[in-house]
Structure 1
Amino acid sequence: MFTIMAIKIEPRVEIAPTVQAILTKYGCIIQTRLGLHEASKTSCSNSGLVILNLIHDEKDEINNLKKELNDLEGVTAKLIEV
């Protein structure tokens, strides 16, 4: 079983440092992290998406992570279990 968290961040530039601090706090339950945003030579998107593969057995920590992220204005975190 996989536990995946999708995190939408907007405005990305302003809130990313706070999101990073939270992800660092829960780093021991994050197996894989992928960050996506549109970028070009002349511009950088103001919205971003982070995909996390989490340690499935850490339900309490996963729920705490999700709550802390969703408590931030401009951040939406959702879980997918497959």
Structure 2
Amino acid sequence: MKFNEKTIMAIMVDNRKEEALQVQKILTGWGCLIKTRLGIHDGVLDSCSNYGLIILELVGEKEKHEELMNKLNVLPGVQAKYLNLELKE
């Protein structure tokens, strides 16, 4: 991957309380591809939401990114997509 190129994956989790463990297991298994991870969900304390958004900065091969995305998309209530960003030289 070039220095001026980034791959970002966004993961929406609809039923966070029930699916978080499976999502976490998959992300841990593919941890060597993940350079940066950011988890976001609405709510605090007693009004914690049941859906969330995870944003990943990925490294490695495109084929591996697609495998990770496909593994996540098999889970009920989980949708993952990725995109490549590249700055022109």
Is it true that 1:67 corresponds to 2:67 in the alignment? Answer: no
- Structure 2: gaps of 5 or more residues: none
Structure 1: segments with no counterpart, 5+ residues: none
Using the TM superposition, name which of 26-35 and 57-66 deviates more.
57-66
Using structure 2 for the length normalisation, give the TM-score. 0.87
Report the count of equivalent residues: 81
Q: Does 1:44 align with 2:48?
A: yes
Give the root-mean-square deviation of aligned CA atoms: 0.8
Spell out structure 1 runs of 4+ moving beyond 3 A.
none
Q: Secondary structure at the match of 1:2?
A: strand
Identity across the alignment (%) = 49
- Normalization by structure 1: what TM-score? 0.94
> 1:18-63: per-residue Cα shift (whole Å, max 9, x none)?
00000000000100000000122321101000000000x4112111
